[in-house]
Structure 1
């Protein structure tokens, strides 16, 4: 007896993939296979909010990518952590809930992407959200993704808010209702003291459905293309290459680095790049892997006059026991909120109508994000330019699907980016010098007061700047010659294939990217189901269950 194939195959069990898995199986009609290269999200460090310090360099749960040496950053290779487990980067990120600015999405629509304006997208943000404040015109309370307040105010964050007020930045309680400008506490993707990843919010409720199959430690190696259509995927699991077929669509949700890599490995991308690696061109799309954008963070560190920081909590057995007990009894305190509690959005360049920099205020200091806390009371002011002009690329290292792609961020490549970054650092210093903070911040450790003047500050940014973990844009949607997908996220020129992740962003949004990716996947799910209802019968080409097609191959994964 012939058994029908899966209707949909989702490649990537991360932030977007878990949303798709839930929404596409909710009606019980469609059979869905979701592939995740990493293991299940069983590590307790995933679910404890402060635990991302443990997953930042984890050899299994994190891809641990590096860029190529960056000429604009003193030839440094910049570490790019990406989630490699169910929930993807939503399982290892800093939990910050930021949607971006309405103008970001209106710009997408102005570029020719109908249905992607702020007005169009707000319902999907609301649909996804379970906000602990309750429902309202801009927020939802019935969605699966919990967005929680930080319940206990912190003396340092309160001083930062007061100091920002002296500089004309208003206090706000909501960065996500449409007016982003202001200073206040972030809301977090947490639920009663636990991380609320995409896997927790979306996948857990769906995993009992008979029409959903989830395969972990299953790394995709390439698409199966027939007659100009994606009909399946090849992947490695347990040392064997296996095939699975899709009657309706293959959906790439592997992220801004690996979705373009999979397209190129499958012969979809810039012809010269494919031919250089001996890959036959199935469809020339010159924009695959282009348009890479990321937020570059510059971290200023200060010593704090009193032992009120997370450094102090973690510096002794007594301190660790106290915050551990606080979490066990009340599900609150440092273990429940991670590191970055406060945020600030403001304008530092002239003539702008909306904020162009974002701050993350951490009640902790360390030599690098996820590093060991300093042995003194410390805090970090992390500033990033929201809408960088610089563009990088993702290309193939070779035709081996188990090799990491070549990533070039090209940070600080334009004058605007350099000026905005320096102005953001100067604003941080003005903030640190305000009355409410002068008594608390005793010393600027980095860059240090010896670093003065724009050129010296820019040199510090080049020497120490790092990703804030938001690579995007490498399979951008649109209709121009460099676009990879259309406004319904269908890959140009290839049937049965979509991309649903951060890579489809034409321009990087103004803030953290986790909430926007959930929104993208919510909208994509609706479009996919609508197109399925309106379309023809599914393409029945092969057996439903994945089947081994080759002898065992060597183990390995990008590192």
Structure 2
């Protein structure tokens, strides 16, 4: 699968660049406490060791540094080393080197995906939409509403902005209102039924602000961040204890040097906290001996605690979309508007997304390989190679000489989802991707929501509000046919996908990178995010979610880092002096 990914990745980029945007922040908020892991001593001691400096890990670390000595171990590099240049998108995502900020993988469902490998995590790579979880989500999670509100506001002071509303986004907003996705709620971060303009992590100059920016809040005297520090396993002690206690981690630097970071022995509240994401956190628990016993023993891993639910409950919110060529130029915009429907499908849009023009010209070199190899070992596709080539050439024809696209997309993702899968180890190397299965649309309710979402998209495409961005001789059926023929994934295509929205959803599904699960609350961790069955170990990231929060999760993942950090500090303050 790895070789296939490297050779086929330009096709996946087509979908990614049409439907998402990527860039880098330009200035680092720190220069004293972020270091290369090669400079780490052989062994060091801290109150808290956070594995993963991502969307949750950065706010968590900044918060804990208010009253404790904190170490962050990030396996990737800095998000501030590359300029905010739209033309670098394809180069960055097609980079399969060990230092790439995006580590690609293909789920067992045949859908291209990626996991972040950079300080700031997914907030460095995503489409930038900022919106909170709904009130019901907060209640179901048993979170303190006041503390949640404070935590969101703390995040928003650094990274959230109101987006500009130009022609395309305004037309989609008006189209959603026209077809009945009501009421119109204006600009708001809140998750409310109807159509709204949400926040963005791009400022008025178009610069991205990420979770790494939240490290500006950190006490530079109490925090250390090591980059290119890949944690291999967590070590446990059982000496005179009723159950295992996490006390050290082993990590490797970019040169292959091995280091050990341990908890301060005199601190009874010191902890190791996994914030490695929905792929990395369950993977690292398994590599450290916490997981399904049979699977661990198969890989020669000593079982510390048998926990069969580690790696279970993996979900990815499926995305389906229509590509809409425009007879007139459209602005380059990422996700700004969302229609939150009462049947729990979320409608979003992007337009004119820039990507490297040279990359587009190289697509043709992969046609032959794709048609001969992509479905090898899978159910044959009913879509002909000629139809795929024609569809890709059609998309390329709307690329301007500056690399922007004279087109927009309208996409939908479903709430939840209900369908779940699992994560399994393939190797004992922490650098390798595990096997991940999401089981898209396994539950019929998920498929029903997708169909309803696509029906809403079709209505918006046919709305008066969007008419000036439509070619009169290109009906919606032509747009559906185009998407069926563009190879956006490795799943077989059926002729019926052009006439059945159920089949269309199944055949053309893509990721929107909102996958979650694997260390879920109430199953692997308790309501305080402590790993069940061991001491001094928590998980704080999207792997703990039962469902994806709101329309886009990044705001809530950042909030969660701040929220849990404050709860931990409250625990520390309740301890007698000398016991921290």
| Superposition TM-score tier, normalisation by shorter sequence | 0.7 to 0.9
Q: Among 54, 70, 86, which residue is 1:32 paired with?
A: 70
Within the candidate set 329, 335, 342, 2:337 is matched to 342
Query: Of 455, 465, 473, which aligns to 2:517?
Result: 473
Per-residue CA distance 1:372-409 (angstroms, 9 max, x = gap): 57432211011111221100111111222232111111
Distance 1:510 1:184, change over 3 A: closer
Task: Map residues 457-536 of structure 1 onto 2, 5 A cutoff.
Answer: 457-478=501-522, 483-535=523-575
Please state if 1:408 is matched with 2:410. Answer: no
TM-score (norm 1): 0.77
Taking a change above 3 Å as real, the CA distance of residues 96 and 7 of structure 1, as seen in their structure-2 partners, is same
Counterpart among 96, 101, 118 of residue 85 in structure 1: 118
Contact 2:346 2:415 in 1 (8 A): yes
Asked whether 1:148 is paired with 2:192, we answer no
After superposition, the C-alpha distances for 1:453-476 in whole angstroms (9 at most, x for unaligned) are 896222222222111011112111
| 1:546 aligned residue | none
Residues in 2 aligned to 1:471 and 1:431: alpha-carbon distance in whole angstroms: 27
In the alignment, what sits opposite 1:327? none
Match of 1:226 in 2: 237
Distance across 2 between alignment mates of 1:16 and 1:232: 21
Q: Give the 5 Å matches for 1:240-259.
A: 240-247=257-264, 248-259=270-281
Alpha-carbon deviations, 1:496-523, whole Å to 9, x = none? 1111111111222232111111111111
Which of 337, 340, 363 pairs up with 2:351? 363
Contact 2:525–2:544 (Cα < 8 Å) also in 1: yes
Aligned to 2:209: 196
1:48-67 superposed matches below 5 A: 55-59=92-96, 60-67=99-106
1:120 Cα offset (Å): 5.4
Q: C-alpha displacement at 1:270, in angstroms?
A: 1.4
Q: Is 1:385 matched with 2:414?
A: yes
Equivalent residue number for residue 133 of structure 1: none
Q: Please tell me whether the aligned partners of residues 163 and 204 of structure 2 are also in contact (alpha carbons under 8 angstroms).
A: no
- The alignment partner of 2:177 has SS state of helix
Question: CA distance change for structure 1 residues 366 and 409 in 2, over 3 Å: closer, same or farther?
Answer: farther
TM-score (norm 2): 0.75
- The answer on whether the counterparts of 1:62 and 1:83 sit within 8 Å (CA) in structure 2 is yes
Q: 2:330 aligns with which of 279, 290, 309?
A: 309
* Contact 1:11 1:252 (8 Å CA) reproduced: yes
How many correspondences in the alignment? Answer: 466
Moved more, 217-226 or 416-425: 416-425
- Looking at structure 2, the residues matched to 536 and 291 of structure 1 have their Cα atoms a distance apart, in angstroms, of 39
* 1:281 counterpart residue number: 303
Shift, 1:186, TM fit: 2.9
Give, in angstroms, the shift of residue 122 of structure 1.
2.5
Please give the secondary structure, in 1, of the residue aligned with 2:140: helix
Q: RMSD value over aligned CA atoms?
A: 2.8
For the 8 Å contact 2:251–2:259, the answer to whether it is kept is yes
* 1:301/1:365 contact within 8 Å kept: no
Partners of 2:444 and 2:299 lie apart in 1 by 35
Q: For each residue in 1:1-52, what CA deviation from the matched residue of structure 2 results, as whole angstroms up to 9, or x when unmatched?
A: xx9821111101111111122111124xx2211111011223334x458865
User: Which structure's residues are more often helix, by fraction?
Assistant: 2
1:41 corresponding residue in structure 2: 79
Asked if the contact 2:277–2:541 (Cα under 8 Å) also holds between the matched residues in 1, the reply is yes
> Cα 1:457–1:95, aligned 2, differ >3 Å: closer, same or farther?
same
Give the match's secondary structure for 2:189.
coil
Which residue is equivalent to 1:295?
Answer: 317
Q: State the alpha-carbon separation in 1 of the partners of residues 290 and 340 from structure 2.
A: 39
> SS of the counterpart of 2:556?
helix
Shift in Å at residue 119 of structure 1? 5.7
Counterpart position of 1:181: 193
One of 170, 185, 190 as aligned partner of 1:172: 185
Contact 1:56 1:81 in 2 (8 A): no
Counterpart secondary structure, 1:213: strand
Closer/same/farther in 2, CA of residues 186 and 275 from structure 1, 3 Å limit:
same
C-alpha contact 2:233 2:288 (8 A) present in aligned 1: yes
Partner of 2:454: 425
> For residues 488 and 254 of structure 1, what CA distance do their matches in structure 2 show?
17
Q: Work out whether residues 87 and 354 of structure 2, in 8 Å CA contact, stay in contact via their aligned partners in 1.
A: no
1:205 shift after superposition: 4.7
Q: Quote the Cα distance in structure 2 between the aligned partners of 1:107 and 1:533.
A: 27
